[in-house]
Amino acid sequence: MVASSLCFATMGVFVKLASAALPFYEVAFFRAFGGGLLAIAGMAIARQPFKMDRPCVLVWRGVLGWGALTTYFLAISRLPLGDAVLLNYTSPFFTALLAAAMLGEQLTARTLGCLAVATAGVACVVGPTGSFLNGGAAAAVLSAFLAAMAYVTVKRAAATNEPTVIVVVFSIVASLLSIPPMLWHFTVPVGPQWAWLAAAAFFGTVAQTLMTYGYRLARASTASVLTLTTPLAAAVLGILCLGAVPTIGLVVGGLLILGAGVALSWRDKAP
């Protein structure tokens, strides 16, 4: 899950670069479509057969993932980035509740405590402004809920499907759903934009595959908390790659996130 978060954060750097010149829904399409091609190529090289179990669950996971992605991008367009990130990364709270209700996982005081500490860490890292009173806030919270639904569905699907199969189905569904808005106002990528889109697809696909393995091996609530390392990794990459200035909030928030993740995952095993 930590490796997945690092790859998601790296993907975010290239998505940010591409989104500066291309519409967000077009970036979403290339991210999904390119990721599907990479996953299919990996399966072909490994000679892995494409076998789906419970295809309706896989398609539903794709719809949920696409919904979470688009509402998150909408929130970013309406809110300061830190506010959108903070509200979006409330998804582990929803995941813990849904995992208890749908997967029968035990919801413990330790889980809730670590979630609270890690979320406080995210707040320190992203530095929200508190400008939540608009439609963007609702979109961010909806994105968090849809992401949690997708995570729980991944946990269920990963029990009987290979991670690459889950990634391929998600990519197909998300690509198809992204085509109509993309065709409404298509901008042809030029020069380095193609490289940024390819890099976003590559790191996003690797991140998704690792995340699926993580949900197979750990409890859904524990795995979702570890996704909170993504904002921390993104902040560090912003300093290294985009010239961002490190802050005290990054240090304090990073310690809170990492501490909560270690405390929650220590000796934790999937049921």
CA atoms 99, 124, 84, 27: torsion sign: negative
C-beta separation of 207 from 4 below 8 A: yes
Residues 6+ apart with CB under 8 A from 88: 72, 75, 140, 143, 144, 147
What proportion of the chain, given as a percentage, has pLDDT over 90? Answer: 9
Indicate the pTM of the whole model: 0.75
Residues in the chain: 271
Per-residue pLDDT reduced to its tens digit, 152-203: 887 777 677 788 888 889 889 999 998 988 888 888 898 899 999 999 899 9
Radius of gyration of the chain (CA): 18
pLDDT band at 271 (very low <50, low <70, confident <90, very high): very low
Token output for 140: 């961010």
pLDDT of residue 267 exceeding 70, the answer is: no
pLDDT of residue 106 exceeding 80, the answer is: no
- Residue that wins the pLDDT comparison between 32 and 19: 32
Return the number of other C-beta atoms located less than 10 Å from residue 94's C-beta: 19
CA 170 → CA 35, 57, 147, 218, distances in Å? 9, 11, 13, 21
Which amino acid, 261?
G
C-beta separation of 215 from 92 below 8 A: no
